[in-house]
Each structure stands twice: as C-alpha cells, then as structure tokens.
Amino acid sequence: MQLRLSPAVVTLLCASAAVVSALNNGLGRLPQMGYNSWYDVQMGPSAELVEATAQAMASNGLQAAGYKYINLADGIVQTTRDANGNLIPDPKFPQGFIGLADFLHAKGYLFGVYTDRGPITCGHRMGAQGNEAKDAAWYAAQGIDYVKEDSCAAPSDHQTAYAQYAAMRDGLNATGRSLFFSLCGWNEWYSPVMRALANSARIGPDDSNWNGLLVDIDDMLTLNPYAGPGAWNDPCLLLGEDQNGNAAVTELQGRFQFTAWAVLAAPLLLSQNVRNLSSYRLETYLNEEVIGVNQDIFGRQGQLLAGGHVSMAPRALNSHMARRFNGSVPDPRSVFSKKDLSVLHGRHWGSDGQAPLTLTACAAVTSQQWQWNVSAPGYLTNVATQLCANIDNCGTAIIGYTCVTSGGTCCGSSCYAGLQFFIAADGTFRSPSQPTMCVTNMGAGQQAALAPCQPGLATQQFTYDAAAQTIAQSTADGKQCLTVGTGAEAAAVIGRPLVDGSWAVAFLNAGPFPVNLTCGAGCLNQTGWEPEQVLAVRDLWAHEDLPDILASGSLSPSLPADGGVALYKLTPKFNTTIPTAE
C-alpha cells in the first residue's frame, strides 16, 4: 500500500527538519528580566559597577522580583585580541570575567556580555566577525550566561545578517553550555526567523528617548504571531535615569513603557541606575501583578485592540533617523525644521501651537476645560494647552491656536474677531467675525466647523458649565465636550490572553492631551468572549477590583497626557449554581 501524507503532516515534518539548525538551549521560556548597563553608564561598565548593582538589586527587592540577569553592554573588551586570538577584558575588569561570573553566580544572578556581528562594536571594540566559534567558547569558559550580539559595522543585507547570527548561534550551541542568545539587529524582518537563530530579537531602533520607545511599540504590534516561549520580540530596554541623574523618560512614561512591555511579552531589562531608583520607579518595577502579565506562561504577545499608532512621527521618518543616528531615534524636532516636519507629515511636530477642536465624549480631562476672557475679552482659552479657540485663517474650521493679542490676524492688522466667541441666548455657539455662522458638531471626533445657523438644529446647541469649565452638547451618543485634539491622538488599547483564560488590557496615551480612552464592544469582541459574558475587572496599578462589566460593555479610563496608562485584568465569571433536573 502506498503511504500518502497529508499537507499538514508534510508541513510538520519540514518544520521539524528545519529546527535541527535552530538555537536549542532550553532557555527563554519566559521573557528575560534583569539589568543592562548601556543607558546607565554607556561605555563605562566596570567590575565595581557590577558588584554595586548586584548588591542594590538584592537590597531593593528587584532580584527577588525576578530580575536575575546582570548584563554588560559595550566597552567591556579591548580593541585587540591576545596572541591566541581571544578577547581581552577591558582594564576596568582587572580580574577578568571569571571571578565576576563566580561572584554573580554565588549571589544568585546570571551574567551577560555584549559583542557585535561586525569586526568592531558600536563603540569600536573587538567584534565577533570571523571569530564566532572562538568567542563563543571563550564566553563559555568565562562562565558567561547571556550573549547580546549587535549590528554595528556589519553588512545590512538580510542573508548576510542571518548567516552571521547563525554562526554565533552554532558557536554557542557547540560549547555545551546553555547561553541565552540575544540578537540585536534593529529591524522587524528578524522576527519571522528569530526562532531559528536566537532567544530574542531586537526589532527596532534604540529606544533612547520617549519617541524611540513609542516607535518600538508600533513595530511590536505587527509582530505578535512570531513570539512565544523560547523566542521573544525585543523592543529594546526599559528607560529611566542614568548614573548622573539624567532622565530619558519621566516616571509616568517609565510606567507607561513597563505596562506596554508587559502586555507585549517583551524582555524586562532595566537600563538605568538601579542603585538609586526613586520610590515611584521602584514601585513600578516591583509590581507583582504587572510582572505576572509579562511572565505569563501562555506566552502570547499582545495585540492592538483599539486605536492606532502611538509614535510621534511616521515610520518612514523614524527609520530615516535610526539610520542617520546609528540605531537611535531622537526627538524629530531636534533634527528637522518645522517646515520639513510638516512636509514629512510628522504628527504633532509639524505645527507648533495648533490643534483641531473636536467634540468627544465628556471626561474629567483638562483638554476639555475652557476659560472665557482670560487671555483677552471674548477669548476662549483651553486649560490644558493654553491655546485659544480660533477660526482657522478666517475660514470655517475651528482650531486651538496660540492666543494672538497683538499684530492683528487674518481679518486685519487690528482685528481679533476670529478668536472671540460667545454662546447666544438661543444656545448657539458663535463668533462675531461671522455673525450668520454657528459652531457645528460635525460628528464625534471630527473637527468642529462653522456652518450657517439653523434655528433649533441639535448639532448647533451648546451649553457652558462654569463650574466644570466645559462647553458641551447632548447627542444620541451621550454628552460630548469641545476638546483640543481628537481625544485619541497617539493612543491605543492593547491586550493579550493569559493562561488562566483572562486578558490583560492596557490603555496607552502618548499624545499631548489628556484623553478618555474607550475599549467598547468592538474592542472587547476581539477577545472571543460572547457579548453576555460577565467579566471581573482588576486594576493592576491601583491593586483593586472594579465593578463587573459585560463583554458587550466598555471600559473608559481617563488618562493624562504624555504617558497616561491603565492596565486591567479581565476574567470571565460564571454562574456556579447548576440547575437541577426536574
């Protein structure tokens, strides 16, 4: 009888054959946790730093919370090799690496080092090119547990990159020692093949600042099919303050990043001065419930549930900056002029002092609070941004704009009527610059605009609440308030399923304005729960249980600007009373 194999079996056999050359070290079953020296001391790691960091992490609770790797970045070896072709530790490690590895192992840590697939590292120290097997054997003999291999001074074509990383993979496999292999290639195209090469793969540029980490979040949201136990997408390091107290991100932004990394199943590597963490940062990194999301054994990377891009500039612009600045992404405003950014369509960056005014669901956020007659008579000033309501270029669109009080405007050298507004006795919202036109709600989230006044038209009826400082309108979708921005710029809801059947759902606001970010039925529907499913809600940052919701319901936390974040665990609840048969 002739045996015929189904396509599924053929695929399985082919996949099994391909795994023969994969990295098979049994490591990385969960995303790695620990410390990385780069954003703490840059090229200055030393034996003293390692010892002080290990002691601090034991004292402040980080080690007990699961941060077990102490990884050194660039600056750890010299610019030449010894007579036998081996790497030479930098003089800042007078006893070499063996004694340091013994010290860390005795303290319960694991020890990581850094290299590059090119001939030199980013800091111009010896790289691994052509010496992968020799270097891998040397690392194993030194007692090293973790090797990160960068991509500076190396060819950029895919096949060469894969071959060079495979050479280090094979060298590490041949040592007989289990060494975690971290591939640092800076590009998303490593993700689909990383499982055959490494335990984790860097998928974007260095996250050296706020915009950089937002770029990496956007990149991660397209790569969730490829990550899981044994191989994790790596969006780079957790930012904070360096040894001199210079902060790469605010404390709130650090919590935002930690939350996103947890839901995205990303490595939790603290690249900051862990020897002197503020109480807020320490509270962030010791949150057992959030760590539990990251370390969930189901191993599913999070996905986008609602919203969109959170980065402050488009992908093409960020990619250009990453190439220009050797893997790092600076603030676009430090690189390009406002005119250039406008042409490049850099969101928020192209126009200073200007934002659309929209009608969005009312929430307790300052981007919806307005004060009359503060900047000038008749002017309407936003509390959050200090922008004034303005008829854009004497047209019909309503924007928030710098409060102009001298030099005139588009209507004349001494005319400011386009910045003056009032609510008339009939409930319409008007400007004296165009007496027959009324501010009109063009739809939720759409820019408000002037339109011919129509008596009694619901979309032209507004009220001003002096106590709440809101300009609101009642609609079929509920009360909507005049808002600077769209209410959801650079904001997203992401989530991941957990091993116990629950979901972790994170709300992220990277935008310049506070928002009331909603995950409604369409968002929750992506979990697969039936609409009538009852869900228990746990706030993982407040450490408190919230009222139950239905899967057809919604969650709408109010988030501050520039790093507002919330993280909930949603768990199905079932009626445990089983009806008896009659």
Task: Report, as residue numbers or ranges, the catalytic residues.
Answer: 150, 206
| DSSP conformation class of 322 | H
Other CB atoms within 10 A of residue 355 CB: 22
Query: What is the rounded (10 degree) CA torsion for 517, 520, 522, 525?
Result: 120
Contacts of 77 (CB under 8 A, 6+ apart): 87, 88, 89, 90, 115, 125, 126
Helix (H, G, I), strand (E, B) or coil at 417: helix
Nearest to 481 by CA among 365, 307, 342: 365
Separation between Cα atoms, residue 443 and residue 445, nearest integer Å: 6
- Pick left, alpha or beta for residue 392 (phi over 0 → left; psi -120 to 50 → alpha; otherwise beta): beta
Query: Residue 294 to residues 29, 33, 162, 259, 396: CA-CA distances in angstroms?
Result: 12, 10, 28, 9, 48
Helix (H, G, I), strand (E, B) or coil at 262: helix
The enclosing H or E element of 147 equals strand 146-150
User: Residue 520 in contact with residue 490, Cβ under 8 Å?
Assistant: no
HSE, side-chain direction, 13 A CA sphere, residue 166: 12
Helix (H, G, I), strand (E, B) or coil at 51: helix
Query: What is the rounded (10 degree) CA torsion for 255, 259, 262, 266?
Result: -70
Strand order in the sheet with 388-391: 370-372, 380-382, 388-391, 398-401, 354-361, 478-484, 470-475, 463-465
Helix (H, G, I), strand (E, B) or coil at 477: coil
Separation between Cα atoms, residue 190 and residue 166, nearest integer Å: 12
Burial class (CB in 10 A: 0-12, 13-18, 19+), 347: middle
